[in-house]
């Protein structure tokens, strides 16, 4: 028997079918151990020694793997083919060696880029050892992240109360978002004008041209900076006669884009499908690990954490065959297209992300995938096919129309696609800027034929006013792109970085754009002021390069840690004598322009609106920073951190005098108010001992709450409608863990883009179909035993049979749909025999007094505890002591 260890049950299930009965494939469920979240888990003074710890769930998996290995003669470590996968294999091997179960056993590492039968069997024929350089790079990265987090976060807590924590790469990503917001706030809009005119050709066709030269000189963007100059130019155009001065024609080719890497997949999924980076990676993981296609479980795409854009030769050949078959030979280029990775160090030396079988078209697998999986698979399939297609061919034409005196030049441009090539399958969407070489596909237009010297009859002339716009806020796609350009982090970490920033409430997503919360801006300003080197883009990128060199075996990983720790420790030591008041003064100066913006009226933005005398500034309280008046305690004006009158982390308008009244509830006539409590913002109906309250869920800003929204919140949970299959009501509400759907006892959390107040029936049914608890009902009823039904269920840990509250797991490999009543009853009986007798235990515990008299140890331990808890009068003396001391 041979044991194979992979990360996930889905992957184990797929591979087990390929390898046969001689192999037992087990899942580690990711990392089996990690650094304990406490100080001292990494010890620099002991050569960066690390303590590793397994949680209860991992201990169960370790035990199962160890028991299987004891009976086996060979162990294959088949975790993912990247650093994290190498690290998981290393951990598994280290733990099994410590348990002494590997003596005399051969241990091998196997990697495959796709989960298909041919790839898996080929990998098993070519095993290797665990790659220690990749493990060392993992250890260095893990130690760095731990040392920064557990050293820097306490500094934040002491010097900037209310802050959550700081991370090595997350802090740099946060800085990018905050700096972009500062650019937007400081942006000064500039006016400019453009002129366009319509011209009628001799053949009666119309051409629209824009002004490029005036008075013999070329115009720049701001040459016409006001209405006066624009109207003067318009008058000059209207007074002139025009002819065609030149016609320029040229052919252009546009080549396809490279296949997907991790980052480009995240970017395009964000633009085209509106998927967050984390959702994209989760869906890709499922497609990679395997989907049941007509009774056979197959991996649909190659490994999804990669910097590589190259494709295997057989995949290129298959793609070219498919293009010829589906689109014709004209769409197949004369030679295969070969792409090279642009990343400085593509440490994950894999193929691009592509379908494992190009002939498995999206429409053929649609019935086996849910909607989100299908859309992502289709995106990957199209991008891969397009990458091997012929270039698109365009005809581009530029016509210059000049005045009789040659002092005015107007230009008309147009292009038309004469051969679609790869554009027949795939066009890349824009975000903030076009992709390299991309043009505005949607504005293609064909200009009518004209000849040089042809007279042009001027028609309408238009002068249009414009204003420059600030740089756009980062979307997930543009932030991932910028981080990759700077070399910050690695593509496989981007999803978790963006998720952590939102979970810590440092940033929020609004209309798919990142907006920094004031808490995030404070943290960034603090780090830039006192730990500037460690949030510099070049420093973080250089450190990533060093980690890549560790994985290549060029640098010792402990040398990287020693160099970093020596300087970082010095920076931390330098803040020990720093007073909180100094920090607040510095941050008040740094962020003053943000919290107290000049509105241009001459009014002092720092003047207290309550006493009209005190100066507003940043203050620090027990629960974090806020805005307060310098005349405290005579003036008690405060407001949450946020620009006055705007929404934000404390939301919208300041509430110095208590709750904000939203209006009156029509039915009861009671007031509806917006309030802030110790656990955040909420809406309340009426007053009294127990008024109805509903908390604002994540993403719902206080500044956006009006009476209409407040009433909708108070009406939760609401009925969405009857489920079309069960005819039972679907409800939408807000609970402890946020917005949810409830149907037939099954809960399903709403996705980020779903609004609990507006989610409809179609979306609700779709989400509920994905709920983990959707199989709460039986898969099958086998019959009755002693008047009680015996049923088969699909549970979290696999299929099981149930009768009268006794659940028995089915043996591994048993098909739950073929189980009979005769097979189920012995399993249930065996499970019931193992269960503890609950009722006798309760009876034994009941006579506490008698047990105490018998001196039973458990009771004698409890008795003093009760006496101690009863000494309440002693606690009341404390205030008296304080008074006396005063």
- Rounded to an integer, what distance in angstroms lies between the CA atom of residue 382 and that of residue 358? 10
- Rounded to an integer, what distance in angstroms lies between the CA atom of residue 734 and that of residue 94? 45
- Rounded to an integer, what distance in angstroms lies between the CA atom of residue 80 and that of residue 85? 4
The residues annotated as belonging to the active site are: 303
Phi, psi of 295 (to 5 degrees): 90, -5
CB 123 within 8 A of CB 110: yes
**Structure tokens, 524:** 């960034």
- Rounded to an integer, what distance in angstroms lies between the CA atom of residue 252 and that of residue 752? 43
The secondary structure of 638-666 as a DSSP string is EE-SS-TTS-SSS-SS--TTSPEEEEE-T
Give every CB contact of residue 668 below 8 A, 6+ residues apart in sequence: 685, 686
Phi, psi of 250 (to 5 degrees): -150, 155
The residue among 445, 499, 561, 664 whose CA lies nearest residue 148 is 561
- Rounded to an integer, what distance in angstroms lies between the CA atom of residue 598 and that of residue 607? 12
Q: Would you mind telling me the total number of residues written for the chain in this entry?
A: 886
**Structure tokens, 374:** 């299908």
**What is the Cα 303 distance to its own chain's centre?**
19
CB 410 within 8 A of CB 212: yes
CB 711 within 8 A of CB 764: no
**Structure tokens, 456:** 């042009």
The residue among 383, 412, 408 whose CA lies nearest residue 397 is 412
Q: How many CB atoms lie within 10 A of CB 485?
A: 11
What sign results for the dihedral spanned by CA atoms 268, 82, 320, 356?
negative
**Structure tokens, 471:** 């740089």
Question: At 731, is the secondary structure helix, strand, or coil?
Answer: strand
Q: How many CB atoms lie within 10 A of CB 217?
A: 10
DSSP state of 245: E
SS (H, E, C) 806-874: EEEECCCCCCHHHCCHHHHHHHHHHHHHHCCCHHHHHHHHCCHHHHHHCCCHHHHHHHHHHHHHHCHHH
CB 702 within 8 A of CB 674: yes
Terminal Cα-to-Cα distance of the chain (whole angstroms): 78
- Rounded to an integer, what distance in angstroms lies between the CA atom of residue 498 and that of residue 509? 10
């Amino acid at each position: 028997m041979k044991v194979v260890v992979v990360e996930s049950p889905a992957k184990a299930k797929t591979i087990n079918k390929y390898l046969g009965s001689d192999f037992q494939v087990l899942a580690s469920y990711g990392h089996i151990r990690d650094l304990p979240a406490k100080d001292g888990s990494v010890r620099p003074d002991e050569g960066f020694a690390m303590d590793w710890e397994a949680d209860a769930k991992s201990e169960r998996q370790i035990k199962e793997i160890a028991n299987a290995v004891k009976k086996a003669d060979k162990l294959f470590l088949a975790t993912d083919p990247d650093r994290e996968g190498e690290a998981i294999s290393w951990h598994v091997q280290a733990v099994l060696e410590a348990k002494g179960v590997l003596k005399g056993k051969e241990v091998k590492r196997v990697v495959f880029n796709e989960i298909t039968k041919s790839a898996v069997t080929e990998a098993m024929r070519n095993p290797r050892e665990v790659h220690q350089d990749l493990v060392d790079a993992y250890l260095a990265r893990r130690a760095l992240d731990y040392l920064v987090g557990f050293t820097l976060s306490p500094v934040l807590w002491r010097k900037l109360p209310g802050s959550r924590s700081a991370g090595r790469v997350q802090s740099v990503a946060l800085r990018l978002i905050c700096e972009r917001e500062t650019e937007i706030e400081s942006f000064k809009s500039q006016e400019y004008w453009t002129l366009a005119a319509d011209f009628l050709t001799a053949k009666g066709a119309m051409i629209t041209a824009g002004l490029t030269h005036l008075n013999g000189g070329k115009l720049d963007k701001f040459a016409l900076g006001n209405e006066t100059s624009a109207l003067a130019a318009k008058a000059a155009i209207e007074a002139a006669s025009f002819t065609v001065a030149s016609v320029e024609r040229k052919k252009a080719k546009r080549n396809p884009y490279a296949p997907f890497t991790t980052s480009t997949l995240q970017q395009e999924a964000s633009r085209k499908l509106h998927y967050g980076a984390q959702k994209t990676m989760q869906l890709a993981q499922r497609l990679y690990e395997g989907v049941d296609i007509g009774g056979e479980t197959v991996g649909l795409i190659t490994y999804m954490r990669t910097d590589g854009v190259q494709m295997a030769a057989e995949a290129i050949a298959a793609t070219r065959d498919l293009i010829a078959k589906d689109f014709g030979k004209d769409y197949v280029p004369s030679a295969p297209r070969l792409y090279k990775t642009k990343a400085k160090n593509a440490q994950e030396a894999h193929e691009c992300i592509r379908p494992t079988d190009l002939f498995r078209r999206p429409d053929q697998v649609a019935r086996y995938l849910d909607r989100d999986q299908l859309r992502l698979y289709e995106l990957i399939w199209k991008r891969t096919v397009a990458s091997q297609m012929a270039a698109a061919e365009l005809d581009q034409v530029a016509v210059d129309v000049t005045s009789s005196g040659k002092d005015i030049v107007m230009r008309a441009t147009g292009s038309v696609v004469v051969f679609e090539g790869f554009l027949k399958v795939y066009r890349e969407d824009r975000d903030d800027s076009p992709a390299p070489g991309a043009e505005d596909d949607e504005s293609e237009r064909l200009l009518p034929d004209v000849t040089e010297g042809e007279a042009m009859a001027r028609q309408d002339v238009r002068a249009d006013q414009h204003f420059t716009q600030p740089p756009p806020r980062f979307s997930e796609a543009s932030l991932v792109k910028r981080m990759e350009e700077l070399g910050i982090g690695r593509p496989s970490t981007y999803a978790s970085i963006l998720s952590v920033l939102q979970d810590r409430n440092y940033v929020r997503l609004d209309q798919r754009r990142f907006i920094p919360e004031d808490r995030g801006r404070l943290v960034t300003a603090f780090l830039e002021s006192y730990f500037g080197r460690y949030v510099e883009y070049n420093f973080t990128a250089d450190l990533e390069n060093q980690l890549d060199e560790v994985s290549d075996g060029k640098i010792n990983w402990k040398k990287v840690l020693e160099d970093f720790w020596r300087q970082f420790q010095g920076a931390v030591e330098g803040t020990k004598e720093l007073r909180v008041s100094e920090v607040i003064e510095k941050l008040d100066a740094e962020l003053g322009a943000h919290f107290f913006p000049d509105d241009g009226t001459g009014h002092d933005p720092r003047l207290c609106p309550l006493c009209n005398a005190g100066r507003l500034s940043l203050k620090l309280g027990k629960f974090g920073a806020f805005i307060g008046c310098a005349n405290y305690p005579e003036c008690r004006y405060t407001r949450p951190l946020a620009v006055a009158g705007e929404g934000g982390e404390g939301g919208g308008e300041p509430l110095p005098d208590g709750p904000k009244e939203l209006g009156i509830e029509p039915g009861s006539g009671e007031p509806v108010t917006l309030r802030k409590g110790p656990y955040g913002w909420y809406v309340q109906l009426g007053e009294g001992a127990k008024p109805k309250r509903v908390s604002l869920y994540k993403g719902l800003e206080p500044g956006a709450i009006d009476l209409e929204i407040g009433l909708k919140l108070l009406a939760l949970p609401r009925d969405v409608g009857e489920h079309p299959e069960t005819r039972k009501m679907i409800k939408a509400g807000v609970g402890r863990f946020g917005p949810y759907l409830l149907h037939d006892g099954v809960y399903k959390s709403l996705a980020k883009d779903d609004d609990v107040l507006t989610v409809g029936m179609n979306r609700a049914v779709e989400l509920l179909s994905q709920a983990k608890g959707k199989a709460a009902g039986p898969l099958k009823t086998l019959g009755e035993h002693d008047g009680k039904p015996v049923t088969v269920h699909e549970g979290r840990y696999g299929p099981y049979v149930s009768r009268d509250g006794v659940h028995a797991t089915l043996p591994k490999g048993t098909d739950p749909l073929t189980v009979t009543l005769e097979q189920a009853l012995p399993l249930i009986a065996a499970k019931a025999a193992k269960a503890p007798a609950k009722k006798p235990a309760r009876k034994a515990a009941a006579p506490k007094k008698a047990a105490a008299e018998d001196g039973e140890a458990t009771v004698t331990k409890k008795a003093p505890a009760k006496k101690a808890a009863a000494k309440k009068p002693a606690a009341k003396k404390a205030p008296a002591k304080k008074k006396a001391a005063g």
